[in-house]
Structure 1
Amino acid sequence: MSLLTGNSHSLSEEEIDEYADGTVKLRNPNIELMDQDILYHVALGSESHDLREMFGDVKFVCMGGTPKRMENFAHFIMDEIGYKLPAGTQLQDISEFSYRYSMYKVGPVLCVSHGMGTPSISILMHEVIKLMYHAKCIDPIFIRIGTCGGIGVDGGTVIITEDALDGHLRNSHEFTILGETVHRPAKLDKKLARELKSLASADDPYDTIIGKTLCTNDFYEGQGRLDGAFCEFTETDKMNYLEKLRDNGVVNIEMESTIFAALTHHAGIKAAVVCVVLLNRLNGDQVNAPKEVINEWQQRPQILVSRYIRKVLAQHGQLKSLFGHHGSIKSPRRFKLVQQESQAHD
């Protein structure tokens, strides 16, 4: 069956049985025929590194836009789950030699930056999904932690995405593959969304809600902003558009949710998106809250996600039995080649 039919490929009974052990599926027979699968943009390789030893225990993959945010989250989650590094060591950016993304491993939690927009996160996710495959991770859960603009929602509100919609309000992501248009469902795990929502506390000094998220390919014109380098619509046009979004149940706008949902769903991975609102777009276009306020707001999705991770680990009795360990290099020669390839900027 061709993948370029415009329809999502359905799993056969054999495929369902094959992955009943919880390992990640790639839907790509070419990978097993390769001498080595180089995960170019994160400076890892299937033969240069012992990926199963390094990442086989990963249960949660948490992604956010900037390297600094994910470094901060790595330190935060380390304290939250009681993870202890070996004496004399510190958290290391596993992908530091890629100069593109950052990656920190805190026991069963992998913290990765994905950049801004669908192209950047798409590249990262292809390689992280392959990483989960090579490491033989069992039932990993992917959670995007981000920021967004709200629609009728105040700054500081935490939003858990129920449905990810594209610019045409379709619950799918549009790909162009070999010159043909392919739509893949942008489905997130609604049970996971409800679990996350249940962990919001009445003592939190902010609201946590579930709603639909609009994903755009642009920060300015694509989101109806009046303050870009170009604008060929009026404020009335903008407000009519935002009101239309609100009438369709959209509560926030960001730039990664449809591709994140489409790729995780296609790989059979349970996933969620948790963002904090930086401004109510019905009141303006520019993010003008003080930096210290924004920094505090950005911690709110991290707190909610950490509660979920703690809950799952506690259910399995793992909160107090986590000790750091480092993966090994299988082939120093291949390791050096992968490192050199990832440092190439052309």
Structure 2
Amino acid sequence: MSTSQTKYPKFLDADFEKDISGRITPRDGPIVLRNPHIDDLAEDVLYHLDLSDKKNDLPAMFGDVKFVCFGGSPKRMEKFAHFMVKELNINIQAGMTLSNISHGSDRYVLYKVGPVLSVSHGMGIPSMSIVFHEVLKLLYHACCKDVKLFRLGTSGGLGLEPGTVVITDAAVDGLLRPYMEVATLGMLLQHPAFLDRDLCEELQAIGSADTSYNTVIGKTMCTYDFYEGQARLDGAFCDFTVEDKLAFLKRIHDRGVLNIEMESLCFAAMAHRAAVKSAIICCTIVDRLQSDQISASHEMLEDWQGRCQQIVAKYIRRHLNIQ
């Protein structure tokens, strides 16, 4: 039987279950692709991951994957992979080491720790989009099923104590629209950016067990740049006043936005489109209503970033029945 015959079928819009509002319902089961052209390829090269469905035995390498954790920094995701080795009680034999599977590419890193993938996504929507496409295809070619996706990161908070963990229930763009616009064939297509509420609430319950910091659920605003798009006063260009900035940030905060970053819209829109259960969990490292500059020490930032990792690790351990 050929490789393409063993893969799960692709689905069209009509095959996805939707709620009364038209949202695609996230589900367990096999990873599917909404692209009828993939199986017509003689070889599907995942260029930015340095993998291929012909060069590599993807089902043997990745078929047991149940959790994919994305984060911006390659170093952070390498550290997260080593952290998960300990959390999952995995014994790396003498002479062996945890290695970057995508070492042939300098774009992203990819580590596998048992059923967990740790992947860097870079900064911003374009970088996130590329790696999300290729990771989803990787999971499809590997015949994975019942997969959960997580984005772990940092963000600017609004009216929150730095160190607060925000779990996103919906991502919005800089105009507070809950969808990502993609220019396709000369048209602007709008892809809704919603996440799995049940998964959000379970993560919040896990985080709230630690009373040394707050874990909250709310909207995340995703911008296309770090400075002007986020109403910062400290970029190379700025055409607005302090009063303009504060009025804008207070307005979006009043409309439910708790934090601001640069990848959530893409992650949520693509996960929703793929009907994969997913969550975004970010720690705030500054209250943007008070300052644009990050003043916390390196040690404090490391501690704050670790909160998201610990929450997701506890979720994974719980679902793998690891005490």
TM-score by length of structure 1 reads 0.85
1:21/1:190 CA distance change after superposition, 3 Å: closer
Amino acid at match of 2:248: Y
Report the counterpart of residue 206 of structure 1 in structure 2.
213
Is 1:109 aligned with 2:116?
A: yes
Q: CA RMSD in A?
A: 1.6
Is 1:217 aligned with 2:220?
A: no
Report the counterpart of residue 270 of structure 1 in structure 2.
277
1:120/1:164 CA distance change after superposition, 3 Å: same
Aligned counterparts, 1:286-297, within 5 A: 286-297=293-304
Cα distance in 1, alignment partners of residues 270 and 175 from structure 2: 19
Cα distance in 1, alignment partners of residues 65 and 38 from structure 2: 21
Is 1:283 aligned with 2:283?
A: no
Asked whether the equivalents of residues 16 and 275 of structure 2 are also in contact (C-alpha less than 8 Å), the reply is: no
Aligned partner (choices 182, 189, 192) of residue 185 of structure 1: 192
Report the counterpart of residue 9 of structure 2 in structure 1.
none
Give SS of 1:199's match.
Answer: helix
Which sections of structure 1, spanning at least 5 residues, go unmatched? 1-8, 15-19, 321-346
Give SS of 1:146's match.
Answer: strand
Q: What is the number of equivalent residue pairs in this alignment?
A: 304
Kindly state the Cα deviation for residue 291 of structure 1 after the two structures are TM-superposed: 1.0
Report the counterpart of residue 240 of structure 2 in structure 1.
233
Report the counterpart of residue 25 of structure 1 in structure 2.
32
TM-score by length of structure 2 reads 0.91
Give SS of 1:209's match.
Answer: strand
Cα distance in 2, alignment partners of residues 175 and 113 from structure 1: 22
Runs of 4+ in structure 1 displaced over 4 angstroms? none
Deviations 1:236-281 (A, max 9, x none): 0000000011110100000001110111111111100000001000
Report the counterpart of residue 167 of structure 2 in structure 1.
160
Kindly state the Cα deviation for residue 202 of structure 1 after the two structures are TM-superposed: 3.9
Cα distance in 2, alignment partners of residues 13 and 53 from structure 1: 28
Asked whether the equivalents of residues 28 and 147 of structure 2 are also in contact (C-alpha less than 8 Å), the reply is: no
- What percentage of residue pairs aligned between the two structures are identical? 52
Deviations 1:41-100 (A, max 9, x none): 000000000000000000000000000100111111111111222332110000111011
Give SS of 2:84's match.
Answer: helix
Aligned counterparts, 1:1-346, within 5 A: 10-12=13-15, 22-314=29-321, 319=322
Give SS of 1:283's match.
Answer: coil
Cα distance in 1, alignment partners of residues 180 and 287 from structure 2: 25
Kindly state the Cα deviation for residue 13 of structure 1 after the two structures are TM-superposed: 7.2
Amino acid at match of 2:138: L
